[in-house]
């Protein structure tokens, strides 16, 4: 049975429409049956979806399609694009590899808090802009510590190259079954990122009856809470198609410019 393909694009991103049209012509030339949808009107029923946009677009598509067997493939129009596998210049070459099934599917673990999912991270902050907040962390119901900080990031390995990296957290291989907890600008030098198994359940509690807190999932879904928030591994996974010509460490080297020698200016 032939696969059902789709092109999902973000019309709010510059050049997205041009790249979508280019991909359409490539698939038509190769006699591939497909449908075009936009990121704000996604629907199910596909086996494989080409997602055109930056990491934010790919994150949104990954959460939506995680509740089925749909595989997504990112075409980068953003800046770093850790989740993408193709640039707009290499689309035809990438399509050939996809149609030849010269790729692997990686199941990426996700976070869940209530009805909310996150592939990258869940970030908890106080609602008072410009002020630090106090948080209490529990793991499996056991009190661990208090944080006085601008916020807390709970990240998956996939999200360890996102907000967590800029906040001083470690980079985790996506093959690890782990989460990392990272305080944002903590007011003590003893607060350090903590890597834990993904089987643990986290509870982050408000330490003030008057304070209100907000949680953001992948920086896209937001909700307020007053007492505590529970975070655990989701039963759903994001299914990402990865080309076989470059692994995770190759992506890090290229995206973070590890292979570039520093330039000394006089």
Per-residue pLDDT of 179-223, as tens digits, reads 999 999 999 888 899 999 999 999 999 877 667 899 999 999 898
Per-residue pLDDT at 259: 66
* Cα angle for residues 38, 174, 137 (degrees, 5° grid): 95
Per-residue pLDDT at 254: 75
Averaged pLDDT of the chain: 91
pLDDT tens digit sequence for 112-157: 999 999 999 999 998 877 778 899 999 999 999 999 999 999 999 9
Per-residue pLDDT at 37: 97
Per-residue pLDDT at 24: 97
Rg (Cα) of the chain, in Å, rounded? Answer: 20
The CATH number assigned to the domain with range 5-101 reads: 3.40.50.10330
Average pLDDT over residues 231-250: 88
Whether 101 and 113 have beta carbons less than 8 Å apart is answered as no
The C-alpha atoms of residue 145 and residue 62 are separated, in whole angstroms, by 33
The C-alpha atoms of residue 43 and residue 233 are separated, in whole angstroms, by 25
Per-residue pLDDT at 1: 57
Confidence band of 244 (pLDDT split at 50, 70, 90) = confident
8 has a pLDDT exceeding 70: yes
Name the catalytic one among 40, 55, 96, 121.
55
Question: What's the count of helices (H) and strands (E) in the chain, helices before strands?
Answer: 5, 17
pLDDT tens digit sequence for 51-93: 999 899 999 999 999 999 899 999 988 666 778 888 888 899 9
Q: What superfamily would CATH give domain 112-234?
A: Probable inorganic polyphosphate/atp-NAD kinase; domain 2 (2.60.200.30)
Per-residue pLDDT at 117: 97
109 has a pLDDT exceeding 60: yes
* Cα angle for residues 132, 134, 140 (degrees, 5° grid): 140
Domain spans of the chain?
5-101, 112-234
Determine whether 55 is an active site residue.
yes
In this prediction the pTM is 0.91
């Amino acid at each position: 049975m032939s696969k059902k393909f789709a092109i999902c694009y973000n019309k709010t991103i510059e050049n997205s429409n041009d790249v979508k049209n280019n991909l359409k012509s490539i698939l038509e030339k190769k006699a591939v049956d497909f449908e075009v949808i936009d990121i704000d009107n996604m629907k199910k029923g596909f086996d494989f979806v080409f997602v055109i946009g930056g990491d934010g677009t790919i994150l949104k598509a990954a959460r939506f399609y995680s509740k089925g067997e749909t595989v997504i493939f990112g075409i980068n129009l953003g800046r770093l694009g850790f989740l993408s596998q193709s640039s707009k210049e290499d689309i035809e070459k990438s399509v050939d590899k996809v149609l030849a099934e010269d790729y692997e599917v990686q199941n990426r673990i996700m976070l869940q808090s209530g009805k909310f999912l996150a592939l990258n991270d869940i970030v908890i902050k106080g609602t008072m802009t410009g002020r630090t907040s106090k948080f209490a962390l529990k793991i499996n119901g056991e009190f661990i510590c208090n944080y006085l900080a601008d916020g807390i990031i709970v990240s998956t390995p996939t999200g360890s190259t996102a907000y967590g990296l800029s906040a001083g957290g470690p980079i985790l291989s996506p093959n690890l079954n782990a989460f990392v907890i990272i305080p944002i600008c903590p007011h003590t030098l003893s607060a350090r990122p903590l890597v834990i198994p993904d089987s643990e359940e986290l509870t982050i509690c408000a330490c003030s009856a008057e304070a209100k807190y907000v949680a953001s999932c992948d920086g896209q879904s937001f909700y307020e809470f007053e007492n505590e928030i529970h975070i655990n591994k989701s039963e759903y996974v994001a299914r990402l198609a990865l080309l076989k010509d470059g692994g995770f460490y190759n992506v890090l080297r290229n995206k973070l410019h590890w292979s570039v020698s520093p330039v000394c200016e006089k």
